[in-house]
Structure 1
Amino acid sequence: MYFLGAVYLTSYYHYFRLDAFSLGFGFAELSIQSLNVLKAPVAIALIVAVVAARHLTTREAAPAQGSLARLLERWARTVVRAHLAFIFVGLLLLLLWSRIQPYGWTAPLLLGTGLLLGQTPWAGEGAIRSTLWSKAVPVFTGGLLMMWAFSVATSQMGEQEAHQAADQLVRRTAVVILSTDRLSLAGPGLKAEDLGAKAHYRYRYTGLRRLIERNGRYYLLPLGWDPRTGPTYVIQDGNGVRVELLPGTQ
């Protein structure tokens, strides 16, 4: 959970030109962020994978009851015995990596699945020897490939959700910056006002939206933010600066 949370946040904030680790996220926060990956299709796939893995790793499967159960077992045996096909297709997709984007995660996923299926009792006839090269190395390699697939998919998910957040920037919490001194803030959608010499906070800046706030630092985006050239502002509350939070446009 920590690993996937770190991958997700790194990709999400990289879209806004921020280093997720510089924001000071703790272990628990990174772990909780991994729950963003658990969408309905992912949850269903994990449940099916866990149930199938428990069944496939049993050398003597329980007698199947009913025609549906027998049909599912025959299908499962066919899939397991085709583990070399998974590996072949995975290698082919790996060679075509640049052409299969944004579905590059399918290559390590198929490779890892093929290696892990090859270690099940249904993969071939006879007993499986539990030696280092016949068991431990393929399982370890398959696990690494699966983690690679998950990390690539999670990174893409983080970038996609950051893109959606940028498209709906106007809905995020609005931020008004009040300052005793003029600030070097400028950009499309950002408005600067001089309230006069009599006002304690003479300068007011509007047209900003909050990305995140950490330890009194506000990471802000102007309404006209462009992912290619738009700036991300970092404002420290205090020392002549006051930050006001308002509802965004709904």
Structure 2
Amino acid sequence: MTDADGDGRSSWSRAFGVLSAIGPPVTVATALLFYFGWARADAQAAQMGLNVSLFGYAVQDYLLISINALFLPLVCILALSVAWLALDRLLRRRIEEDRGRARIIRAAGIAALLSGLLVGVSLVLAVVEPARTSLFTPYLMALGVLVATWCIHLRRMGRDGKRPALSTEQRAVETTLVLSIVTLLLFWGTADYAQALGRRLALNYEQGVQFMPRAEVYSLKPLSIGSGAVTEVKMGSGDTTLYRYDGLRLLVLSGGRFFFLHDGWTPRDGSVIVLPDDNSVRIEFKR
């Protein structure tokens, strides 16, 4: 899929040129990282019964949060891309040398048909069973579109014995449309994956809350924490009265506020305690 035009540029390079003209790559990449980080944090907060805005995350926080949401999808996509390029190079060489051209054309036609069916079935599943198929359906659709386009291209090349009989503009438009569809599908799938990862992280707190840093909060005034798992101990009397709160576990410090869970916290009936990061309270952390 790298047929060169008269000026030495391929249809793929022309398509990337069009996409690059829409927005600088660095700006687009930053926006995508921000969105995927927000999607993961928003799903995690919602699973905990909170709104993500309460954490006061900055742009750089969302960018860092997005890394673990993108690592696995990017590794899989790049690995498949390497394998695909190697297979494409092999089949092109066989077609150019006229070795098994008829078999390649026939196999490419069958593969294109099956890929179209895969896209159709995936689309139906996304509509009928979105909750069960959201993690893999967009990726299957993107794979089906790419394979179908690639197989059609191989059939054209095999029948003509040269580059497909399409004009430069037709190839550029076709490639741009395919890239746009695949990009949107990958965006969809990665956003769903980031949200699923956020929900899973929130659920993992239920099993891992006992491993979070233990905190003791001291305050000159009663804080009236409503969780039964948090104990209040009154220390001293009169002007020297001090209130200590035990049973807290540090979740995160963000936006000038401490977020605590308590021992035995669960997403269903647990509470998230939010305290300001100022001189009104003193916090001691223990293992």
Q: Shorter chain as normaliser: what TM range?
A: 0.7 to 0.9
Structure 1 residue 46 corresponds to structure 2 residue 77:
yes
Structure 1 residue 16 corresponds to structure 2 residue 56:
no
SS at match of 1:4: helix
What is the rounded CA distance, in whole Å, between the counterparts of 1:172 and 1:80 in structure 2? 52
Query: CA, structure 1 residues 131+60, in 2 after alignment: closer, same or farther (shift >3 Å)?
Result: same
Task: Name the residue aligned to 1:67.
Answer: none
Aligned residues with identical type, % of pairs: 20
Structure 1 residue 44, shift from structure 2 partner? 5.0
Structure 1 residue 34 corresponds to structure 2 residue 66:
yes
Task: Name the residue aligned to 1:116.
Answer: 146
Structure 1 residue 35, shift from structure 2 partner? 2.4
Equivalenced residues, count: 234
Q: CA RMSD in A?
A: 3.1
Q: How does 1:91-106 map to 2 (within 5 A)?
A: 91-98=123-130, 101-106=131-136
Structure 1 residue 150 corresponds to structure 2 residue 190:
yes
Task: Name the residue aligned to 2:243.
Answer: 203
SS at match of 1:194: strand
Q: How does 1:1-250 map to 2 (within 5 A)?
A: 1-37=33-69, 42=73, 45-55=76-86, 61-62=92-93, 79=111, 82-98=114-130, 101-120=131-150, 123=153, 125-126=155-156, 127=164, 129-130=170-171, 132=173, 134-197=174-237, 200=240, 202-247=242-287
- The amino acid of 2:191's aligned partner reads S
Query: CA, structure 1 residues 13+234, in 2 after alignment: closer, same or farther (shift >3 Å)?
Result: same
Task: Name the residue aligned to 1:69.
Answer: none
Structure 1 residue 131, shift from structure 2 partner? 5.2
- What stretches of structure 1 of length at least 5 have no aligned partner? 65-72
Query: CA, structure 1 residues 89+44, in 2 after alignment: closer, same or farther (shift >3 Å)?
Result: same
Q: Is the 8 A contact 2:214 2:250 kept in 1?
A: yes
What is the rounded CA distance, in whole Å, between the counterparts of 2:238 and 2:62 in structure 1? 46
Structure 1 residue 140, shift from structure 2 partner? 1.0
- What stretches of structure 2 of length at least 5 have no aligned partner? 1-32, 96-103, 157-163
- The amino acid of 2:171's aligned partner reads S
Q: Is the 8 A contact 1:190 1:208 kept in 2?
A: yes
Structure 1 residue 232, shift from structure 2 partner? 1.2
Q: Is the 8 A contact 2:205 2:266 kept in 1?
A: no
Structure having the higher helix fraction is 2
Structure 1 residue 203, shift from structure 2 partner? 0.6
- Relative contact order, higher structure (CA 8 A, sep 6+): 2
Query: CA, structure 1 residues 82+199, in 2 after alignment: closer, same or farther (shift >3 Å)?
Result: farther
Query: Which has the larger displacement, 86-95 or 169-178?
Result: 86-95
Q: Is the 8 A contact 1:117 1:123 kept in 2?
A: no
Structure 1 residue 158, shift from structure 2 partner? 1.4
- The amino acid of 2:283's aligned partner reads V
Query: CA, structure 1 residues 217+230, in 2 after alignment: closer, same or farther (shift >3 Å)?
Result: same
What is the rounded CA distance, in whole Å, between the counterparts of 1:151 and 1:244 in structure 2? 38
What is the rounded CA distance, in whole Å, between the counterparts of 2:93 and 2:54 in structure 1? 52
SS at match of 1:189: coil
What is the rounded CA distance, in whole Å, between the counterparts of 1:79 and 1:29 in structure 2? 43
What is the rounded CA distance, in whole Å, between the counterparts of 2:57 and 2:275 in structure 1? 18
Structure 1 residue 121, shift from structure 2 partner? 5.5
Task: Spell out, residue by residue over 1:57-111, the C-alpha distance to the aligned partner (whole angstroms, 9 max, x if none).
Answer: 76973469xxxxxxxx99x95755632122122123123225xx34322222222
- Report the structure number with the largest CA radius of gyration: 2
SS at match of 1:130: helix
